[in-house]
Every structure is written in C-alpha cells, then in structure tokens.
C-alpha cells in the first residue's frame, strides 16, 4: 500500500464546545497556525458556529465540516439539520457515526448509512466513524465489528462516491480518555478497514481512501500514529480546541 497516493486529512471535532463568539477567536488563532499545512485541514464546530466558521475561513486552507446531518431532505423533523442546509452554507464535510452519537443519541449502523448517503447526495464529503468499545476489544471481536460497521455504513455507496468518503477509526475506549491506541493497534485496524474497502471496491479505491485514527491523538503522539502505513490522518477532539496542539498535529501529518 502506498501512502503517497492518499491525502492526509486532519479534522478537528470540536463537539459541543465554543459559542460563535468563542469560535471566531479560536479560528483567528488557527488560521496562521496551520497556514503552511501540507495536508487537508478541517474544523467541525457545532451547528451554531458554522456560518461564522465558513465566513472566517474563506480564502484560507481550512475547510469546515459539521458534526452530524439528518438523512431526510426536509420536513417535520424538529431540531434536525439537512445535508442541503449544510451544503448551502458552504460546509464541505460532515461527520457521521461518531461513537458519541451512537452511544447517547441512538445512532445505529443503519442510520449512519442513511446519513452518509444523504450527505453524499448533497455533495458533501463524509467522515464515517467506526470503532469498538473496550468490552468488544477484550472479547476479540474488533476486526469483525469494525468490518461490519464499515460495510453497513457504506451500503449503496458507489466506487465513484468513495472519493468523497473518509473513514475514521476511533476506538471508543480511547476517545476523550487520554488513553490512546498504540500505533500498532491503530495501524492494525486501519489496515483491516482498508482491506474491507478493497473487498468492496477493489485495490485502487482502497489505496486512494483516506483512513484516519481518532482517540486522544495529541501533539505528543501524532508523529508516531501518523507514521504508520495505513494511518492517513486524524480526527481530533480535545486537542483541536488548542491551536498550538492542533497545529502540531497538522505539522506531523504534513511530513
């Protein structure tokens, strides 16, 4: 597998942090900090910050993503946001299937698939999250589980659509816990995911697909994780709120 054929992507998942006013200040710090990046840089603030984020990052190398999207085009879905609404704002990316959505908001593999399909149809790029819990890892079902999540999430997605898909491997036990997967563990699962993509779409698509690792990635461990053959970037939570830390991860991915 040739890492040089793929685009490294570092995406910040701000989660439920930052008012629009606070977001403007963070973005002002981020713009100079990542301006020399030799990788794709994405920030995913809360919905309420998206207008401001798109406006402030115009003309910079920072792309804006949302953290979730509904699968219907419009209608009586109080509190939800459609893919067309995001696209119309100038949002480029959306995250689907984050484990916090699965854990707290009843997200299932099937709804992850529906959201992914709706986002692709609207012309968004999608960061699809998969990953096992600690219990599942200890039961030895990580490979099967992540393969299943990946296959269901990508149901109906064409080989051509795959250029707009990024897969983020995020072991649930490593998210927000300070407990990072070892680079070997990250590599092993990212490689398995690439094999699943190859099974579904062939080797050329698999080699071109960006597969990120996420879960307590920070300025100190990014180099090692991103140095692995099948780890093509990171989905960053906590460290994405600290401009210097996020910039250090971007630098690590730019090597």
Task: Catalytic residue, from 98, 100, 107, 132: name it.
Answer: 98
Q: Are 150 and 197 in contact (CB under 8 A)?
A: yes
- Measured CA to CA, the distance from residue 171 to residue 180 in angstroms comes to 9
CA distance readout (Å), 32 to 116, 177, 244 = 32, 29, 10
Candidate list 45, 97, 237, 243; residue touching ligand PGA; CB under 6 A: 237
- Measured CA to CA, the distance from residue 4 to residue 229 in angstroms comes to 10
Residue with the CB atom nearest ligand PGA in the bound state: 237
Residues 6+ apart with CB under 8 A from 19: 48, 49
Q: How many residues bind ligand PGA (CB under 6 A)?
A: 13
Instruction: List, in sequence order, every beta strand (DSSP E) within the chain.
Output: 9-13, 40-44, 62-66, 93-96, 125-130, 165-169, 210-214, 233-236
Q: Catalytic: 170? A: yes
Of the candidate spans 27-35, 153-161, 169-177, 243-251, the one that interacts with ligand PGA by CB under 6 A turns out to be 169-177
Q: In whole angstroms, what separates CA 55 from the centre of its chain?
A: 22
* Dihedral sign for Cα atoms in the order 165, 171, 172, 175: negative
Q: Write down the least CB distance from residue 217 to ligand PGA, Å.
A: 6
Within residues 203-222, the interface with ligand PGA by CB under 6 A covers 214-217
Candidate list 126, 175, 197, 226; residue touching ligand PGA; CB under 6 A: 175
Residue closer to ligand PGA (CB basis): 233 or 238: 238
Residue closer to ligand PGA (CB basis): 13 or 185: 13
Residue that the structure tokens 């030895």 belong to = 140
Verify binding: residue 166, ligand PGA, rule CB under 6 A. no
Verify binding: residue 225, ligand PGA, rule CB under 6 A. no
CA distance readout (Å), 247 to 38, 68, 198, 225 = 12, 24, 32, 16
Of the candidate spans 31-39, 139-147, 199-207, 237-245, the one that interacts with ligand PGA by CB under 6 A turns out to be 237-245
Q: Catalytic: 199? A: no
Q: Write down the least CB distance from residue 110 to ligand PGA, Å.
A: 21
Verify binding: residue 236, ligand PGA, rule CB under 6 A. yes
Residue that the structure tokens 């406006």 belong to = 55
Q: Write down the least CB distance from residue 202 to ligand PGA, Å.
A: 29
Verify binding: residue 130, ligand PGA, rule CB under 6 A. no
Q: Which residues are catalytic?
A: 98, 170
Residue numbers at the binding site for ligand PGA (CB under 6 A): 13, 170, 175-176, 214-217, 235-239
């Amino acid at each position: 597998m040739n890492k040089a054929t793929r685009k490294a992507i570092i995406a910040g998942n701000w989660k439920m942090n930052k008012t629009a006013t606070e977001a403007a200040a963070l973005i002002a710090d981020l713009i100079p900090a990542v301006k020399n990046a030799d990788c794709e840089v994405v920030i995913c603030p809360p919905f309420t910050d998206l207008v401001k984020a798109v406006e402030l990052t115009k003309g910079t190398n920072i792309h804006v993503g949302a953290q979730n999207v509904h699968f219907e085009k419009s209608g009586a879905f109080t509190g939800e946001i459609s893919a067309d609404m995001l696209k119309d704002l100038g949002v480029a990316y959306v995250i689907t299937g984050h484990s916090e959505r699965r854990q707290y908001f009843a997200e299932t593999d099937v709804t992850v698939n529906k959201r992914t399909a709706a986002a692709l149809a609207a012309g968004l790029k999608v960061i699809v999250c998969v990953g096992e819990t600690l219990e599942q890892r200890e039961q030895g079902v990580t490979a099967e589980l992540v393969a299943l999540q990946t296959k269901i999430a990508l149901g109906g997605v064409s080989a051509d659509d795959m250029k707009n898909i990024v897969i983020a491997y995020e072991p649930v036990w490593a998210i927000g816990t300070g407990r990072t997967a070892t680079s070997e563990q990250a590599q092993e699962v990212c490689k398995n995911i690439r094999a699943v993509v190859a099974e579904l779409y062939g080797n050329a698509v698999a080699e071109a697909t960006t597969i990120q690792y996420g879960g307590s990635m920070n300025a100190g461990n990014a180099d090692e994780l991103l140095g692995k053959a099948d780890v093509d970037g990171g989905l960053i939570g906590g460290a994405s709120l600290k401009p210097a830390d996020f910039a250090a991860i971007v630098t690590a991915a730019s090597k």
